[in-house]
């Protein structure tokens, strides 16, 4: 699959700036160095990692995930830089846990508001038209997260976490917007 990153996205713009600046930094143990992968490199790497555990680095804007009231950080353009492990290209319907749930009569998770572009990797959001990567969580995943402002100044996570919206338990299958991923190893 060949696609181009949405250049109107703040993540795509930031990724280009990071790539051209030859960024190298280490924030509280989260090392990001060298070239940020371009969209074609990401697509090729993701499609070759079928079912394997992959380490992903992602940059996400926090405003949509933050409480709006009495939050000194809302609207400041804070970024969440995360490194975590997932599996790409796992067909949700073929997972053993999904089959077990269906046999027990439990309605398993379905990708609402999304359509497949290229099964089992690529989906499209029906609402935004953005390209999504289908992946499944890894139970023993090692993850590191750092919160930074637009100048990459670290913001104490203890101050940020109480201002984030409550999140349910991590689902076993989900999608990530391709434009938010900056590296896959």
Q: Which range is least confidently modeled, 6-15, 41-50, 84-93?
A: 6-15
Confirm whether 4 is domain-assigned: no
Confirm whether 175 is domain-assigned: yes
CA dihedral for 34, 132, 95, 142, sign (positive or negative): positive
Confirm whether 3 is domain-assigned: no
Count of domains observed in the chain: 1
Residues 6+ positions from 117 with CB-CB distance below 8 Å: 1, 123, 124, 131
- The band of 17, judged by pLDDT with boundaries at 50, 70 and 90, is very low
* pLDDT tens digit sequence for 65-117: 888 888 888 888 888 888 889 999 876 666 676 677 767 776 555 578 888 88
Confirm whether 2 is domain-assigned: no
Determine the Cα–Cα distance for residues 76 and 172; give it in Å rounded to an integer. 31
Confirm whether 1 is domain-assigned: no
pLDDT at 3 over 50: no
Confirm whether 133 is domain-assigned: yes
What is the model's pLDDT at position 185? 86
Give the DSSP H or E segment for 137: strand 131-137
User: Is the Cβ–Cβ distance between 136 and 53 less than 8 Å?
Assistant: no
Determine the Cα–Cα distance for residues 147 and 79; give it in Å rounded to an integer. 6
Confirm whether 19 is domain-assigned: yes
Q: Which residues in 110-133 are b (16+ Cβ under 10 Å) and which e?
A: eeeeeeeeeebbbbbeeeeebbbb
pTM attached to this predicted model? 0.72
Tokens of 155: 């913001």
Confirm whether 5 is domain-assigned: no
Q: Which range is least confidently modeled, 85-89, 116-120, 136-140?
A: 136-140
User: Residue 26 sits in which domain range?
Assistant: 10-184
């Amino acid at each position: 699959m060949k696609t181009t990153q949405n250049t109107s996205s703040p993540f795509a713009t930031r990724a280009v700036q990071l790539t051209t600046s030859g960024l190298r930094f280490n924030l509280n143990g989260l090392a990001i160095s060298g070239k940020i992968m371009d969209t074609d490199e990401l697509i090729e790497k993701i499609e070759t990692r079928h079912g394997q555990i992959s380490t992903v680095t992602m940059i996400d804007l926090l405003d949509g995930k933050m409480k709006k009231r009495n939050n000194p950080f809302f609207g400041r353009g804070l970024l969440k830089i995360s490194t975590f492990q997932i599996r790409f290209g796992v067909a949700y319907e073929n997972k053993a846990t999904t089959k077990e749930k269906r046999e027990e009569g439990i309605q398993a998770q379905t990708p609402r508001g999304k359509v497949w572009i290229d099964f089992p990797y690529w989906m499209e959001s029906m609402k935004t038209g953005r390209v999504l990567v289908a992946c499944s969580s890894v139970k023993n995943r090692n993850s590191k997260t750092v919160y930074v402002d637009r100048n990459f100044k670290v913001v104490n996570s203890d101050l940020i976490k109480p201002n984030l919206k409550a999140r349910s338990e991590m689902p076993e299958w989900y999608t990530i917007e391709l434009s938010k991923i900056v590296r896959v190893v």
